[in-house]
Amino acid sequence: MERQTEALRSSLRTGSLYTEPDEQPAAASADVGQPEPWTPATLLNGWQSWGEDFAPVAFRRDQFGRVYLRGTLRGPANSGTATAAHMFTMPIGYRPANRIAFIVNDSNTDSMRIDVQSSGIVEVVPASQVTNTNFPSLNHISFFTDQ
């Protein structure tokens, strides 16, 4: 019994799989892959990535189906219009099952709501919050596609 206990402790320390006391432990493999590379978002309605000091607006999916957004946006010159709210659209495979709302801060430390729709549309709600001087960050937005 002491030998089995020591073999189990050893397997836990080394990360190998415990089999039987007289057998060699099996090698454990946990290769779960890597996230996809970042895909640049095609910005619409006058939206732009803020600039060189910030990451460009992009998205990617990891090996578990979680989608991540990144980047900082500059609002369009035609702020306050319904079309100004629609920033970009993500392709099939990167969309949530249902609309998801996220609260983010903009450059003026005001709160702003970013919605990701099941159609892939990423937008500011309401559009009246959009100006060309406040810029929301998407860096903390992530979701599973089955949400």
Q: Identify the CATH number of the domain in which residue 94 sits.
A: 2.60.40.1830
Q: Considering its fold, how many domains does the chain have in total?
A: 2
Q: Is 90 found in the same domain as 23?
A: no
Q: What is the DSSP letter of 9?
A: H
Is pLDDT of 12 > 50? no
* 3 and 64 share one domain: no
Which pTM value belongs to this model?
Answer: 0.72
pLDDT at 33: 79
Predicted local distance difference test score (pLDDT) of residue 130: 65
The CA–CA distances, whole Å, from 88 to 40, 83, 127 equal 10, 11, 14
CA distance 132 to 117: 23
3-state secondary structure of 90: coil
| 66 shares a domain with 113 | yes
46 with 98, same domain: the answer is yes
- 31/36: higher pLDDT: 36
d(CA 105, CA 70): 14
Supply the range of the domain harboring residue 127. Answer: 39-144
